[in-house]
Chains A and B, each alone.
Chain A
């Protein structure tokens, strides 16, 4: 079966711009979580969506937002980009119900802000 798909794989943006990243989860998975990974901070949790609702949120400013569609695909948006937003953005999908299965990660979108 198809894995988690993130698009685009690479992106270069200018400070002040906004960006939208997309994540298509594994078929049947209803939970999508987003992470930011930088060399200095490691993997940091951004937020999690389940059935179109944000269920958990990390400690990121309001410039970082997301949404989930009825087909479970999710997008995250970063507005007013800063140089420090340069990172690998990863999403993970899982069934999201109270089961004990694993979450599968996509390959990530590498965002460079110049």
Chain B
């Protein structure tokens, strides 16, 4: 079963920041938080990942709470092309495997 909970859908105005929440209350110390997105009928695209510190790259920022039980993906200036399903997953890298369980994700609609 997926170890994360996300809202099923969200709207965002073009040019505004999109803040996508994710709950992962059972996350363990070895597990990283990863975010992917999937645009219709394409393969999921990696966005960002983190352990406990906030992370930023050219696509997004990831804010992880101090207790690591939740996180927020921030798209600072959403565009119409950011309309996609966003998946928050936890991944235990210490096992050496990549058995990633995807939940239902959040369908983000960016509106003009």
A interface residues, Cβ below 8 angstroms from B: 4, 31, 33, 35, 42-45, 48, 50, 55-56, 58, 88, 90, 92, 94, 96-100, 102-108, 110
- The answer to whether B100 touches A103 (Cβ under 8 A) is yes
A56 to B49, CA, bound (A): 22
Residues 22-44 of B, flagged 1 when their CB comes within 8 A of A and 0 if not, give 00000000001010100001111
Name A58's closest neighbour in chain B (CB-CB). B99
Task: For A105, list chain B residues within 8 Å (CB).
Answer: 36, 43-45
A103 to B105, CA, bound (A): 17
Do A102 and B34 contact each other (CB < 8 Å), given the known contacts A4-B43, A42-B103, A90-B43?
yes
Do A48 and B97 contact each other (CB < 8 Å), given the known contacts A43-B44, A108-B43?
yes
Task: For A90, list chain B residues within 8 Å (CB).
Answer: 43-44
Do A43 and B93 contact each other (CB < 8 Å), given the known contacts A48-B98, A96-B98?
no
Task: For B42, list chain A residues within 8 Å (CB).
Answer: 107-108
A33 to B105, CA, bound (A): 19
Closest 9 CB pairs of A and B: A105-B43, A43-B102, A102-B46, A56-B99, A56-B97, A105-B44, A55-B97, A33-B98, A107-B43
Q: Is B86 among interface residues, defined by CB-CB distance under 8 A?
A: no
Residue from B44, B45, B51, B93 with most neighbouring chain A CB atoms (10 Å): B44
Chain B interface, DSSP helix/strand/loop, else mixed:
loop
A43 CB contact (under 8 Å) in B32, B34, B87, B96: B87
Q: Is B13 among interface residues, defined by CB-CB distance under 8 A?
A: no
- The answer to whether A103 touches B46 (Cβ under 8 A) is yes
- Given A45-B102, A50-B97, A98-B94: 5 more A-B contacts, CB < 8 Å: A33-B98, A43-B102, A98-B96, A102-B49, A105-B43
A99 to B44, CA, bound (A): 20
Task: For A44, list chain B residues within 8 Å (CB).
Answer: 102
